[in-house]
Amino acid sequence: MRTPAAQTGHRAGNRAASPSGSLKILLIEDERDIAGNIWDFLECRGHVIDHVVDGERGLARALEGGIDVIVLDLGLPRLDGLELCRRLRTAGNGVPVLMLTARDTLEDCLAGFEVGADDYMVKPFALRELEARIGVLHRRGLPPADALQTIGDLVYAPATMLAKRGGKSMPLTVAQGRILALLMRESPNVLRREVLLQAIWGEEGGSFGALHTHVCALRAIIDRPFNSTMLQTVHGIGYRLSAEA
């Protein structure tokens, strides 16, 4: 089997424009066999792969931009996947992130969502499902054509995935942006949890616990720095966004 980037840990020449319909995927994975299988499969499906074997170089490559989706292993040398994702989001980078983990506990999965991951898969997994999950994240990460959405002093621009409140600009992840856009569209009505789950993950994954983690992260961004709370939990049903305290 061909081992990707075996000498350098980074595949050169993958930053050119990808063929029509293909995706530019950054694979950050230090296990050579797993990386080789993923790389070969996705490349044969027409995608363009950039592979990095450690967290520090993975973060540097991600921050360069030009990536549609990041496939990120948790157990990386030099900088683990959780910290990499945290730094990526802190830098305001909202590229969709699919985490790969050998840990299948709910706590481990929620830890990934808390630092800004959009989805996760537990090893071992089917490569066809991996490609399907990547496609879902990319489609849901595409900037919609919607105009600015405004509720009270909160403004969201879907095209840039930036929320603004009190003069402060706040970048959102793909999942956070979709949740906020749906809540603003339905405001002040309650949006059921099942509707949000379908909007973020479709039939491919997700759970109420994961959704709650994303909502908590969104609330920390749009509410915590300010005097009034807009994002409200309706226990046992869902969430609502309202300009009224």
Q: Strand ranges (DSSP E) for the chain?
A: 24-28, 48-52, 69-73, 97-101, 119-122, 149-151, 154-157, 162-165, 168-171, 191-192, 231-234, 238-241
pLDDT, residue 202, reads 72
Q: What is the pLDDT of residues 102-117, one digit of tens each?
A: 876 767 777 888 888 8
Is 51 buried (19+), middle (13-18) or exposed (0-12) by CB count in 10 A? buried
Q: Tell me: the pLDDT tens digits for 117-172?
A: 888 888 889 999 999 989 888 877 655 555 678 998 999 988 778 899 988 899 88
What sign does the CA torsion over 112, 88, 14, 57 have?
negative
d(CA 126, CA 128): 5
* Per-residue model confidence (pLDDT) at position 146: 57
Domain limits of the chain? 24-141, 149-241
**Top-level CATH class of 149-241?**
mainly alpha
With a cut of 50, list the residues of the chain below it in pLDDT. Answer: 1-20
Assess contact for 101 and 122: CB atoms under 8 A.
Answer: yes
Provide the whole-model pTM.
0.66
Asked if the domains at 24-141 and 149-241 fall in one CATH topology, the answer is: no
Q: Which CATH superfamily is domain 24-141 in?
A: Response regulator (3.40.50.2300)
Burial 172-191 (b: 16+ CB within 10 A, else e): bbbbbbbbbbbbbebbeebb
Asked if residue 54 lies in contact with residue 83, where contact means CB atoms within 8 angstroms, the answer is no
pLDDT of residue 232: 93
- Please report the pLDDT score of residue 111 as a whole number: 82
